Structure 1
Amino acid sequence: MDLSEKVTLARQGDQEAFVYVIRAVQQSLYAVARSIVKNNEDCADAMQETIAKAYSNVHTLKEPTYFKTWIIRILINECNRIIKKKQRVSPVPYDTRQISYTGDYELIELFEVIDQLDEQLQTIVMLFYIEDISVKEIAKLLHVSDGTVKSRLYRARQQLSELVLGEGEDKYESS
């Protein structure tokens, strides 16, 4: 049974199907939340609120194939709400170097490099390259134009290239 079939069951009130679809998108939710809020406590809060809202409103989802996009939109809104709330409470900067990803060292290094990008670019890169969401869907999620997404991806690629290869180095020189 594929994800959209499970989403259909969840829309009809099947709690086990809902748990299944949440587990299927759990890593994606964490990666997106982490790229926005920067710390594990806020990630957990955003994910918890997102799951609660998704559970309460899954019956309103019109197209089961868009479940992942739908829940990521809810998550982005929750992350933004948390950031706004923190800005009102205390302007303490986040420590972007505290990364707790497990797995291959290459993945950790990738996320460390992505964390060095501007916040807008981090989200775009995570959604496009890590979560494999199309430019059109990202534009809808972030309420921006397709051209804005494309230009941010272009800027992100430039910044990533500079971060990985170093400024002033010949990018085409073989070692």
Structure 2
Amino acid sequence: MNIDVNESEVLRAQKGDKEAFISLIKRLELRMYNIARSIVKKEEDCADAMQETVLKAYRSLPTLQNPRFFNTWMCRILINECNTLLRKKSKTVSMAEPPQEAVYVPQAADIRMDLRDAVDRLEETQRTIVILYYFEDMTIQQIADMLEMSAGAVKTRLYRARMTLSRRLKEPAAKEVRL
């Protein structure tokens, strides 16, 4: 999904034209939502990440050196926000519900881990690359530009992610059963 950038609109937004900035954000809104949703899962987390992204982008807009890269810049801020949110959530333990005793029952050999679950368990950079490549249909070069790495590094991490996913999907998984 390639969204055209109107460089003159970005320049106007950089000079303080709020309407131009809003127009740019509206054009990117669906893509940003899809990326956030695929990384953070929960609707409220998605909204938080998008809101924080728009706020940071608005404040930092004058520092964007090349208006042509506005979309990439926005998506990069969003990915960083989503990953920050996930890191914060992993450190937080909710005590709203007391933990229940869990029993682990091995699944039957023919039942495999869900692909989405396997993607979620990849390390952060690999997960981001897989989501952008397969779920957002971005090219290797677009991902490389967004993550500021070489196309070769993206290909290598994508290959390693595929191998990890393949291995994990072949293994029988343990299933948590709540009593």
Instruction: With the length of structure 2 as denominator, give the TM-score of the two structures.
Output: 0.65
Asked which structure has the greater CA Rg, the reply is 2
SS in 2 for 1:90: coil
In structure 2, the CA distance between the partners of 1:4 and 1:132, relative to structure 1 (3 Å rule), is: farther
Unaligned runs of 5+ in 2: 96-113, 171-179
Cα distance in 1 for partners of 2:134, 2:90 equals 29
Deviations 1:98-146 (A, max 9, x none): xxxxxxxxxxxxxx96565354555323323554544234234335442
Higher strand share: 2
Match of 1:136? 141
Distance 2:128 2:11 in 1: 28
CA distance in 1, matches of 2:129, 2:42: 18
Identity %: 46
Deviation, 1:2, is 5.4
- The alignment covers a number of residue pairs equal to 146
* Contact 1:35-1:115 within 8 A present in 2 as well: no
Matched letter for residue 141 of structure 2 = K
C-alpha distance in 2, partners of 1:34/1:115? 14
Retained in 2: the 8 A contact 1:29–1:72?
A: yes
Given candidates 83, 87, 92, the residue that maps to 1:80 is 83
State which drifts further: 135-144 or 2-11. 135-144
Letter in 2 for 1:84: R
Task: Give the whole-Å Cα distance in 1 for the aligned partners of 2:165 and 2:90.
Answer: 28
Deviation at 1:91, TM superposition (A): 8.0
Question: Does residue 1:9 correspond to 2:12, yes or no?
Answer: yes
What is the TM-score of this pair, normalised by structure 1? 0.66
Partner of 1:32 in structure 2? 35
Higher relative contact order (CA 8 A, sep 6+): 2
Aligned-pair distance for 1:4?
A: 2.3
User: CA RMSD of the aligned region, Å?
Assistant: 3.1
In the alignment, structure 1 residue 56 sits paired with structure 2 residue 44: no
Report the secondary structure of 2:24's partner residue: helix
Structure 1 portions without partners, runs of 5+? 93-111, 168-175
